[in-house]
Structure 1
Amino acid sequence: MKFLLFTVFDFPHSGGMSTHMGLMRKGLTDRQNEVDTLSVSNLSILMRKIVLSLPCKLLNLINKDLGTLWVYGFTEVMLSILFFFSILFRQKYNVINCQDILAARIAIRFQRIFNYKIYLTAHGYFVLQAASDGCLNKDGFVGKLYLRFEKNVYSHPKVESIITVDSRIKQYIVDMAGHQGVYSKTTILKNFIDIDAFKQNGLDGGWLRGKWNLPKEKFIMLSTRRLVPKNGVVYPILALNELRGTKEFDNILLVYAGNGQEKSKMEELIKLHKLEDKVVFLGDVNHKEIAELYNVCDVILVPSVNSEGVEEATSISAIEGMACNKVVIASEIGGLKELIKHTYNGLLVKEKDAKDLADAIVTVYSDEANRKLLEINARKTVEEELSLDKRIKEYLDIFSGKKSNITEPR
């Protein structure tokens, strides 16, 4: 079969959707399928910087909604042209797997001409995500316009099937579409990873820590997150302060791998609580090197919060950490509470609750035997439920009209 993986966002980039697309391409190609990708990255650098980004920045000075409207509108027009001519002159696809609603709008526009099948993978909440990132006001004109576009895509008859990564997103789509018919064509397939790329690597932990300039003797808490509000990245700092005066405090180091708008706020908190020697910022880390970081840490923190109605899905970074036999402490929201079985393969804590997070850290730190059991079960969960091989087979069943072969998580 011939597939096009299609998004209006950058590919590749740092983020779960890009990781998902890369894994889909690998998994489908390994099974002798032909796979292409199309994204805004296919536009020239000159066009992206001058025609796309510069007007956006100028319009943002007037109103951020106008800047976002320009980016969405211009990107949709330019990718519509690329999409049309790439199919007309280069390739005929059996399946267009869209990764967002704007890509789906483009695919729907030309479906009658080229007669391909459209499948949408919904990674989150399109407009609410933009609002959470500070790109638009969901109650403004642009927000309402794109909410209407979302509804039209989810309920459009030319979209054969919708795949979501957790049950909350599925319910959001059904509610948005406004009729239960969408429920039957929407399938939950949790995020997944390449379990051969993420595992205990067997290398000397002290040597690896030296490579990353991390102390060999410390208990390292790792957060591989974009530093944005919805990821709750301030709460590990607040939890660390809650531990002040305990026996665990002196031996703990908090490490962040990622960048984003919250960094200045985090640095202010660190300074306020005099935690400068307890927190390390590594900045953006190449995804190919992330597995090394998982292997040098002792626990992984995913303290996500509800932001503008957006909740963390089945976090790929959490799954990667679990695959490396690490305990994940995560907020009890969204897809995280479907991924983590509390006290079996990880720990769940209340969102925005630094004290609860601190208590969970102490639990993992102080009980090594229980930590080892959680680590074993974490890897077992990923191997049995969240592997690339298993998930690609399920995607191919959906693309082939065999959805009945799939058992959704409950």
Structure 2
Amino acid sequence: MKILHILDHSVPVHDGYSFRSYNIVRIQKKWGWHPVIITSPKHEKSSKEAGKREEYIDGFHYYRTGSISPCPSSVLTEIRLMLALGKRIKEAADIEKPDIIHAHSPILNAIPALIIGRILKIPVVYEIRAFWEDAGVDQGTYVQDSLKYNIVKNIETFVCRHADQVCVLCNELKKDLIKRGISPEKMTPVFNGINIEDFTICAPDAEFLKKWGLEGKKIIGFIGSFYRYEGLDILVQAFSRLLNKHSDIMLLLVGGGEMEQEIREMVKNLEIEKHVVMPGRISHKRIPGVYALTDILAYPRHSVRLTELVTPLKPLEAMAMGKVVAASNVGGHRELIVNGKNGILFKADNAFALVEAFDNLLTNPELCQELRKNSPKWVKEEHNWEKTLAVYLKIYEQSLNIQKS
């Protein structure tokens, strides 16, 4: 079976979107399928380079659409993007003759994929990892329930109605679409997973431990992108208050993004620079060793529609590494964490609740030991990529049957 995947961007860009995409095609190839990838013009923007028309990465064939020049209007820019991507999908489909076109969010990928799929009579699967309208709210593009928000929401709903099958990242997204009138029979959750071999319990990275001055300290960590919704402002506030009781703790914030400068200024204003390490982004290969040197991983996401509906990937990595996880009780976290079993949940948007959660973990070694024991087993059994992605076979078969009928 040959699948033509339509992506916003891909490796070598390193983020959660590209890692999920890479593991999807990796597992599909392992099963004997033939995944081929097309990336939208946004790939060139994300990778900060012009790129090539075609390239091979780890044995996978990537068709690049190429960059486009922006228009004065964002709407015109998006139309130009979809026209360019649609043309590239048609070119690649004529060459590759795929059995399935699998478009991954956002809807800027889905619309041209759906049009070309109908022209060529190829089944189209649409996979939603987050609603684009909610991502726009977080990025400050528009506000919730504004005219543009509702237009984007209605277009997304339209695409879901006309796609042959719809994949969703988690159950909360499915529930939301059911409320919009999308049949539950055509929707299948395809949960996040991890490659167990990449995240096994290991020794701490000794070089980083010494370089960052973390030896002999209790380390609270965050590893990921510094998006506003991640709640790093809450984390820094809580950590500052926790220092009054626990002087031997350090806060390790690994990564970068839109909130980085704001967080650095907050750390400075709170006068806790000696207790906070922000090394920036590091090599993906060294991430397990960084997980290993932490005691608690914090995920203090704010409660917004995006975090209530979407499950993150990073807590799964931490749990696979046998780490203690403390996360806000937003909907996306509640799908992954059973409080007291494989992690601790605390009230979202509440620094005092996070202080209390940290204090409980730092003074309760028996609880921490129980969490460290339960988490790797649960992730291995429930959220390895081969298990979570196995549903694609049913999804593709149903799409092909619909096309034939």
Match for 1:21: what amino acid? S
TM-score, normalising length from structure 1? 0.86
**Alignment partner of 1:238 is 2:237:** yes
SS in 2 for 1:381: helix
Summarize the alignment of residues 54-203 of structure 1 with structure 2, pairs less than 5 Å apart.
55=70, 59=72, 66-67=73-74, 69-88=75-94, 90-100=95-105, 101-140=107-146, 142-156=148-162, 159-175=163-179, 178-179=180-181, 181-201=182-202, 203=203
SS in 2 for 1:29: helix
Determine the structure 2 residue equivalent to 1:219.
218
Determine the structure 2 residue equivalent to 1:269.
266
SS in 1 for 2:24: helix
Alpha-carbon spacing, 1:233–1:359, altered in 2? closer, same or farther (3 Å): same
Determine the structure 2 residue equivalent to 1:327.
324
Cα shift at 1:318 = 0.8
CA contact (8 A) 1:228 1:262 kept: yes
Determine the structure 2 residue equivalent to 1:63.
none
Percent identity, aligned pairs only? 22
Cα shift at 1:308 = 5.8
SS in 2 for 1:93: coil
The structure 2 residue matched to 1:256, chosen from 246, 253, 258, is 253
Match for 1:387: what amino acid? N
CA contact (8 A) 2:209 2:293 kept: no
2-structure distance, mates of 1:315, 1:208: 29
Once the two structures are overlaid, the 10-residue window that deviates more, 373-382 or 182-191, is 182-191
Cα shift at 1:73 = 2.2
2-structure distance, mates of 1:92, 1:226: 37
CA contact (8 A) 2:212 2:277 kept: no
2-structure distance, mates of 1:219, 1:293: 14
Cα shift at 1:323 = 0.6
Cα shift at 1:316 = 0.7
Alpha-carbon spacing, 1:377–1:33, altered in 2? closer, same or farther (3 Å): same
SS in 1 for 2:244: coil
Determine the structure 1 residue equivalent to 2:368.
371
Where structure 2 has 5 or more consecutive residues not aligned to the other structure, the ranges are 52-63, 400-405
The CA RMSD measured in Å over matched residues stands at 2.4
SS in 2 for 1:311: helix
Cα shift at 1:353 = 0.8
Determine the structure 1 residue equivalent to 2:58.
none
SS in 2 for 1:277: helix
Q: Which structure has the highest strand share of the two?
A: 2
Cα shift at 1:381 = 1.1
CA contact (8 A) 2:297 2:318 kept: yes
Match for 1:216: what amino acid? E
Determine the structure 2 residue equivalent to 1:306.
303
Post-superposition Cα deviations, 1:146-183, rounded to whole Å, max 9, x if no partner, equal: 22321211111xx22222222221122223xx32x522
1-structure distance, mates of 2:157, 2:225: 28
Where structure 1 has 5 or more consecutive residues not aligned to the other structure, the ranges are 60-65, 403-410
SS in 1 for 2:184: helix
Aligned residues: 381
CA contact (8 A) 1:125 1:310 kept: no
Determine the structure 2 residue equivalent to 1:17.
17
2-structure distance, mates of 1:312, 1:14: 23
Once the two structures are overlaid, the 10-residue window that deviates more, 349-358 or 222-231, is 222-231
Determine the structure 1 residue equivalent to 2:228.
229
SS in 1 for 2:220: strand
SS in 2 for 1:290: helix
